[in-house]
Amino acid sequence: MNKPIKKYKSGNFSGVIWMNEREVDGAKVGFKTLTLTRSWKDKEQAIWRNEHLNFRRSDIPKIMAIMNKLQEDLFLSEEGDDDE
């Protein structure tokens, strides 16, 4: 059974590191995964909603590379860029 080993929260975002087990060649092997969650209140139905994304450790560098490029694009505006 998966067990959360660390939790982090920032605003309406949270991250959890999980310890998982799988059987490989008759032996139990442990490995870690992570879950990112975004929570928001549905104003029409007056209930809290959650959106979950699950990743493996090897996914983190790929996600970070994409996020860095997105951040560059959003915060390094070109001359004449009217976004903000």
pLDDT digits (tens, 9 = 90+) for 16-75: 999 999 999 999 999 999 999 999 999 888 899 999 999 999 999 999 999 999 999 998
DSSP 42-73: ETTTTEEEEEEEEEEGGGHHHHHHHHHHHHHH
Residue 82, SS3? coil
CB 1 within 8 A of CB 19: no
What confidence category does residue 3 fall into, taking pLDDT thresholds of 50, 70 and 90?
confident
Domain chopping of the chain, boundaries:
3-75
Q: pLDDT value at position 78? A: 67
Q: Is the pLDDT of residue 84 over 80?
A: no
Query: How many whole angstroms separate alpha carbon 67 and alpha carbon 61?
Result: 10
